[in-house]
A and B are shown apart, each in its own frame.
Chain A
């Protein structure tokens, strides 16, 4: 009973703030709505008993990732932040079918994932071990290959970032050294 009340509370707030992301015009309000959406999703995780995922949601999404959006957006001048008319209308209409395809793909992947995910086997696992241990043992047994593949992608991204961020040789005179 309490769980349902808490879930409905977080779920409705998630939806409300997600709507805010789409419909608000001031970009700072938009990023704040996004933040609130992420926090509320963490709340849903906590209600579901997935404390580790909830804490990671808070640590990685609401803090580590969203902070970069905030950092960039706070540097936007006030006149531009408060502008009402939107850009990229034609582009938006053109990308709509592609976006729709992506959403369909997400739904498809979700349904397939639900159909093959283990049912009830993890439950007794959780009772024996803690939340963190369960995630670790599943990640490093069943999904080990996918996990390694993802880390490879991250490594490529990191190397790319280093290459892009590298200083060009002798573009300016360094007077401090």
Chain B
């Protein structure tokens, strides 16, 4: 009985930590994004509220919450609100299968820093990640507005194309690791002394492309396209409801897909890797904390990379985006699969 209680307590604490970190961080990443964007464009960015604008997200949140809740008269209120829930829940659920570090002992209780280590974790990630499309399709339909509908149709087209691509891209690491569990994939990379990016560069690049497309980041943000569609499917939303969609799409989803990229290609919480030889850890002085720091560092690096692209590139047209997916990326993933099949025995030995 005692064991069960401790287990439930551990699960509860994990859920609270994940929710707090993800949603809190999500809000604060708006500040990071504005700062990075400003410095890319040689501006200072938010400076007024707090030291270097550090309190800006709180001010923004207050402003959004206290705004009037406007609703299009001919829309469908139930679906309009349901779309919000459908956007937020799957995006946060993905973090249930993200492993943040190695197993550790805390007051005699063994804790794996992952909510559920399902043996098909990776499939769940992509199933849940792609469910965002329903939120967007519903938001577009329930608003009963042309701009919103066009935006949502575009986004659905993109997700349908890139979901296929991303699933085939991650098959390479899965073959090398021989498992679908996210925790085990990292363990395998540590055992084999190999980050899979060294053998899967094509898959990694394609994964990054597909990640940008699924999260609606530049150069694939045609569903927003503020110049032509005035921010697409969110156009009829107001106040905090308007704020929630970018929060989910641009921050929570980018974070979760970056974390999965780190798990699949960059060896999760392992330090710098020399292929087949071992690991070099310049952060050894942090002791047992170093794996967690490594994980956060890698995710932060990928996130900054996404921001860098976002504020540098122009956007593609919708037909160019889907054509690249089907005609370039998908064949490339097939080539990669064949290459992986040839290379896999070297890794398995």
Which positions 69-86 of chain A face chain B at CB distance < 8 Å?
A: 70-71, 74-75, 78
A52 to B181 alpha-carbon distance, docked (Å): 11
Stretch at the interface among B134-142, B272-280, B290-298, B301-309: B134-142
Return the contact of A130 from the options B119, B128, B138, B163 (Cβ within 8 A). B119
Verify B123–A59 contact, CB threshold 8 A.
Answer: yes
A130 and B179 form a contact (CB under 8 A): yes
Bound CA span A52–B157, Å: 27
- Find chain B residues with CB under 8 A from A132 CB: 119-120, 179-180
User: A55 contacts B153, CB within 8 Å?
Assistant: no
A74-B140, A74-B153 as given contacts; A67 in contact with B120, CB under 8 Å? no
The secondary structure that dominates the B interface is helix
Is A74 within 8 A of B149, CB to CB? yes
Check if A78 sits within 8 Å of B144, measured CB to CB: yes
Judge whether A58 is part of the interface by a CB distance below 8 angstroms: yes
Given contacts A28-B79, A67-B159, A130-B179, contact A74 B137 (CB under 8 A): yes
Q: How far is the CB of B303 from chain A (nearest CB, A)?
A: 25
Q: Is the CB of B133 within 8 A of A67?
A: yes
Residue of B nearest to A35 (CB): B134
- Report the Cα distance A78→B141, complex, angstroms: 9
Query: Shortest beta-carbon distance, B99 to chain A, in Å?
Result: 17
Q: Determine whether the beta carbon of A63 is less than 8 Å from that of B133.
A: yes
Tell yes or no: B37 within 8 A of A by CB: no
Specify which chain B residues have a CB less than 8 angstroms from the CB of A64 in the assembled complex.
Answer: 130, 160, 163
A107 at the interface (CB under 8 A from B): no
In the assembled complex, A62 has its CB within 8 A of some CB on chain B: yes
Interface residues of A in 26-73 (CB under 8 A from B): 28, 32, 35, 51-52, 54-56, 58-59, 62-64, 67-68, 70-71
State the main secondary structure of chain A at its contact with B: helix
Residue B131, interface by CB 8 Å: yes
- B334 partner residues in chain A, CB cutoff 8 A: none
Pairwise interchain contact A59-B126, C-beta atoms closer than 8 A: yes
Is there an interface contact between B133 and A55, defined as CB atoms closer than 8 Å? Answer: no
Report if B256 contacts A (CB, 8 A): no
Interface size grouping (class) on chain A: 20 to 34
- B119 and A131: CB pair below 8 A? yes
CB atoms of B124 and A67 under 8 A apart: no
The reply to whether the CB of B84 lies closer than 8 angstroms to some CB of chain A is: no
Question: Which of chain B's residues have a CB closer than 8 A to the CB of A28?
Answer: 76, 79, 138, 141
Closest to B157 in A: A71
In whole angstroms, what is the CA distance A131 to B124 when docked? Answer: 14
Interfacial residues of chain B within 249-275, with CB under 8 A of chain A in the complex: none
Residues of A within 8 A of B127 (CB): 55, 58-59, 62-63
Instruction: Check if B318 is an interface residue, CB within 8 A of chain A.
Output: no
Q: Which of A52, A55, A63, A78 contacts B163 (CB under 8 A)?
A: A63
Cα distance, A78 to B143, chains bound together (Å): 11
Chain A residues with CB under 8 Å of B153's CB are: 71, 74-75
Pair A70/B137 contact, Cβ less than 8 Å:
yes
Residue numbers in A under 8 Å from B19 (CB-CB): none
Q: Which of B124, B137, B152 contacts A55 (CB 8 A)?
A: B124
On whether the beta carbons of A51 and B120 are closer than 8 Å, the reply is yes
B92 at the interface (CB under 8 A from A): no
Question: Hey, which chain A residues are within 8 Å of B159, CB to CB?
Answer: 67
Cβ < 8 Å to A, chain B residues 211-238: none
CA–CA, A172 and B55, complex, Å? 57
- Residues from chain A with Cβ under 8 Å of B128 in the complex: 58
Q: Is the CB of A70 within 8 A of B134?
A: yes
CB distance from A72 to the nearest CB of B (A): 10
**Residues in B whose Cβ lies below 8 Å from that of A59:** 123, 126-127, 130, 167
Bound together, the chains give a CA A68 to CA B134 distance in angstroms of: 11
Instruction: Tell me if B64 counts as interface (CB < 8 A to partner A).
Output: no
Residue pair A71, B160 in contact (C-beta under 8 Å): yes
**C-alpha spacing A86/B123, complex, angstroms:** 39
The reply on B156 being an interface residue by CB < 8 A is yes
Q: How far is the CB of B189 from chain A (nearest CB, A)?
A: 18
Q: How far, in whole Å, are A51 and B120 apart by their CA atoms in the complex?
A: 7
Most buried by B among A54, A63, A71, A74: A63
A172 → chain B, closest Cβ, in Å?
15
A67-B130, A67-B156, A74-B140 known; 8 new pairs, CB 8 Å cut-off, are: A52-B123, A54-B120, A55-B120, A55-B127, A59-B167, A67-B134, A70-B134, A130-B119
In the assembled complex, 25 residue pairs joining A and B whose CB atoms fall closer than 8 Å, in A order, are A28-B76, A28-B141, A32-B138, A51-B118, A51-B119, A52-B180, A55-B118, A55-B127, A58-B127, A59-B130, A63-B131, A63-B133, A64-B163, A67-B160, A70-B133, A70-B134, A70-B156, A71-B137, A71-B156, A74-B140, A75-B153, A130-B119, A130-B179, A132-B119, A132-B120
Closest 3 CB pairs of A and B: A58-B127, A55-B123, A59-B127
